Amino acid sequence: MSSSAAAGNRRTHALRIAALTVIATAIALPLVIFVLGPNMPPGKDTTAGVSQVFDNTVLLVVMTPFTMFILIFILYTVLAFRVRPGDDDQRDGAPIRGHMPSQIAWLATTTAAVLFLAIFGSAELLASNGSGGGEGPKPIAKPSGSAFQVQVIGQQWEFTYRYPSYGGVETAQLVLPVGQEIEFHVTSLDAVHSFWAYELGVKADANPGVDNVAFVKVKKQGTFQIRCAELCGLWHGYMFDTGRVVSQSQFATWIAGQQKTFAGSQQYLPKYSLTYTPDPQDRAG
């Protein structure tokens, strides 16, 4: 095969792959935008969840053309250049080592996509108050107005929760009032843990001596699952809980009951603080 014929043959294959990629992308994008995207986890019950669903949908939209191209390229190569009975070894033609236009096009498009996602993601984190992630003790992105503070304390192997607005009472359950901006203060007494409230779209590391702040506003009553997302020791897998989002009146009744239940032990708790330094000897028994 002459060099001009080989070049024409390569051009034909390239045009076919490009056309198939455009068709596959046109089919896949509506499914991503209108079917898959809106139903992605963690759901839209919180402000952080809404932001995460939107951001993940944008990520999928940007990556769909690249994914379609890779899949089409692989399938086309397998089908168009497969060895059939009776073919000789020369059917594949001479191997191509480097193709500058293809390399430039690939680098340009992928670089543009990565830069766009980096800028978009940074802007979204600021606009959505950290999107449910721990921002450290001095968060840059803060919601407007006041927020209801809840402290999350990780320890081997459970989470406990303190409510500074109610005398620093510590409970074994996490209950939140609906429609309220929540300001989580996440810390640890021992090892490194990670507070992951799945349906809330909140995930913040619990490090000893560190106050890790995360914001979220819950828009719907219901339950949510809590897990430790950081390997923290032997019983890490059992470090889970179920939280609840209730009405304002139900929360007032519940917190009053917790204050009454734990009134006797309140004197033994350390004064409410953003971090704690327990005596290692006491924890070791």
Question: For each of the chain's 285 residues, which pLDDT tens digit applies?
Answer: 555 655 667 778 888 999 999 999 999 999 999 998 888 888 888 888 888 888 889 999 999 999 999 999 999 988 887 777 766 655 555 666 777 888 898 899 999 999 999 998 888 777 766 667 778 888 887 777 788 999 999 998 899 999 999 989 999 999 999 999 999 999 999 889 999 999 898 999 999 999 999 999 888 899 999 999 999 888 898 899 999 999 999 999 999 999 998 888 888 888 888 988 866 555 544
If asked whether residues 119 and 163 sit together in one domain, one would say no
Contact 232, 156 (CB under 8 A): yes
| Same domain, residue pair 183 and 272 | yes
The reported pLDDT for the residue numbered 98 is 73
Domain membership flag for residue 97: no
Count other Cβ atoms within 10 Å, centred on residue 204: 26
Q: Answer yes or no: is 66 within a domain.
A: yes
Indicate if 158 and 42 belong to the same structural domain: no
User: Of 127, 161, 182, which marks where a domain is finished?
Assistant: 127
- Inside any domain, residue 136: no
Q: Kindly report the backbone phi and psi dihedral angles of residue 88, in degrees, each rounded to the nearest multiple of 5, phi listed first.
A: -95, 175
Q: Let me know whether 45 and 163 are in one domain.
A: no
* CA gyration radius, the chain: 27
Q: Which two tokens stand for residue 280?
A: 């290692």
Quickly count: other Cβ atoms within 10 Å of residue 179's Cβ. Answer: 13
Residue 284: per-residue pLDDT:
45
Question: 219, 180 in Cβ contact below 8 A?
Answer: no
Domain of 258?
Answer: 148-276
Considering the domain boundaries, does residue 175 fall inside one?
yes
Number of domains present in the structure of the chain: 2
Give pLDDT, residue 96: 66
> pLDDT at position 139, please?
83
What pairs with residue 161 in β-bridges?
152, 171
Query: End of a domain among 70, 97, 127?
Result: 127
DSSP 73-103: HHHHHHHHSPPPTT--TTTT-SPP---HHHH
The model's pTM? 0.76
Q: Give a yes or no: residue 88 inside a domain.
A: no
Say yes or no: 271 and 234 in one domain: yes
Task: Look up the CATH number of the domain holding residue 154.
Answer: 2.60.40.420
Pair (230, 158) in one structural domain: yes
**Tokens standing for 41?**
């986890």
The secondary element (H helix, E strand) that includes residue 152 is strand 148-155
| 137 located within any domain | no
Encoding tokens for residue 48?
């952080």
pLDDT on residue 100: 85
Per-residue pLDDT at 285:
42
